[in-house]
């Protein structure tokens, strides 16, 4: 069964600190992995998307890594800001069809001043 | 571009009533998705269309749910009759590309409360 597991479930950090969110998946075959940021009351917004051949991708202070061999990904946030407070959702895509999209349950990040 | 547009943003209805949620995808996108998000189950894909044709509706929970896409710029998700367990945020998303796994752009969602 295709699954995406994220950890931690929630995280509180102080403004300016770094943090790393984890995503482990069992989706097969693999097409790509995405990280979404979802602010409270809004739709998810894509941060990064990585294919099998990519092992790191950055978007400003967000850096995602992918290890396709171990089926693990991480999202590193550098110098956190209050606006980083949100849920971060890992989504793994396989082939076309419904099984193409498997969602993690998300990590709720709270950045405190 | 205005992005994906959904209406209404909030809907409160009584159990047994019909509810219709609306979505306008980004112009030119050929895939449209309907999702449901709850605290317990997270994001769930309900159905998606390609070029206005439903491709996979296996995520639609029951016969009470139906979705249509009469043209490239409009889709509806209907629940009839509604039940309290249908309370959730419903998102519409669209993308352009050769498969359903390309990057998707989400609308702001419709928060549905069924009392």
For residue range A12-59, what is the model confidence (pLDDT) as tens digits? 999 999 999 999 999 888 888 999 999 998 999 999 989 888 899 999
Decide if A43 and B59 are in contact by the 8 Å CB cutoff: no
Decide if A95 and B101 are in contact by the 8 Å CB cutoff: yes
Taking the Cβ of residue A106 and every Cβ of chain B, the question of whether any pair is shorter than 8 Å is answered with: yes
Contact B110, B89 (CB under 8 A): yes
Nearest to B56 among A34, A43, A97 (CB): A97
Distance CA A45, CA A38 (A): 6
What is the predicted pLDDT for the residue at B66?
97
Residue to substitute from B50, B100, B110, B111, interface A, most A β-carbons within 10 A: B100
| pLDDT tens track for B32-70 | 999 999 988 889 999 999 999 998 898 898 899 999 999
Distance CA B55, CA B60 (A): 12
State which residue of chain A sits closest to B4, comparing Cα positions.
A43
Average pLDDT over residues B81-98: 92
> B86: helix, coil or strand?
helix
Residues 30-89 of A with CB under 8 A from B: 31-32, 34, 41-46, 49, 89
Question: Cβ atoms within 10 A of the Cβ of A96, count?
Answer: 15
Contact B107, B3 (CB under 8 A): yes
Grade residue A95 by pLDDT with cuts at 50, 70 and 90: low
Grade residue B2 by pLDDT with cuts at 50, 70 and 90: confident
Helix (H) or strand (E) holding A20: strand A19-25
> A82: helix, coil or strand?
helix
Grade residue A98 by pLDDT with cuts at 50, 70 and 90: very low
Taking the Cβ of residue A103 and every Cβ of chain B, the question of whether any pair is shorter than 8 Å is answered with: yes
* For residue A29, cis peptide bond before it (omega within 30 degrees of 0): yes
Residue B85 is given by DSSP the state G
pLDDT at A99 exceeding the cut of 50:
no
Count CB pairs under 8 A between chains A and B.
51
Region of residue A23 (left: phi > 0; alpha: psi -120 to 50; beta: else): beta
Beta bridge partners of B36: B44, B90
Distance CA A25, CA A29 (A): 11
State which residue of chain A sits closest to B36, comparing Cα positions.
A43
Residue B14 is given by DSSP the state -
What is the predicted pLDDT for the residue at B101?
54
State which residue of chain B sits closest to A94, comparing Cα positions.
B101
Residue B83, min C-alpha distance to chain A (Å): 22
Q: Using a CB-CB distance cutoff of 8 angstroms, which residues of chain B are in contact with residue A100?
A: 99-101
Distance CA A57, CA A68 (A): 14
């Amino acid at each position: 069964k295709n699954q995406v597991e994220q950890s931690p479930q929630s995280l509180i950090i102080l403004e300016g600190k770094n943090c790393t969110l984890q995503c482990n998946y069992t989706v097969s075959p693999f097409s790509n992995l995405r990280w979404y940021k979802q602010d409270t009351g809004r739709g998810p917004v894509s941060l990064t998307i990585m294919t099998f051949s990519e092992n790191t991708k950055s978007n400003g202070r967000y850096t995602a890594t992918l290890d396709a061999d171990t089926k693990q990904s991480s999202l590193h946030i550098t110098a956190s800001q209050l606006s980083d407070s949100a849920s971060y959702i890992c989504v793994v895509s396989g082939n076309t069809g419904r099984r193409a999209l498997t969602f993690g349950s998300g990590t709720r990040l709270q950045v405190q001043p | 571009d205005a992005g994906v547009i959904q209406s209404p943003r909030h809907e409160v209805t009584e159990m047994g009533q019909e509810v219709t949620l609306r979505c306008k995808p980004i112009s030119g996108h050929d895939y449209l998705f309907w999702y449901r998000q709850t605290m317990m189950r997270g994001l769930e894909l309900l159905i998606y269309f390609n070029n206005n044709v439903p491709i996979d509706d296996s995520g639609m929970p029951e016969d009470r749910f139906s979705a249509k896409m009469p043209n490239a710029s409009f889709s509806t998700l209907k629940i009839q009759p509604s039940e309290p367990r249908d309370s959730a945020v419903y998102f519409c998303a669209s993308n352009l590309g050769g498969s359903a796994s390309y990057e998707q752009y989400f609308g702001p969602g419709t928060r549905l409360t069924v009392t």
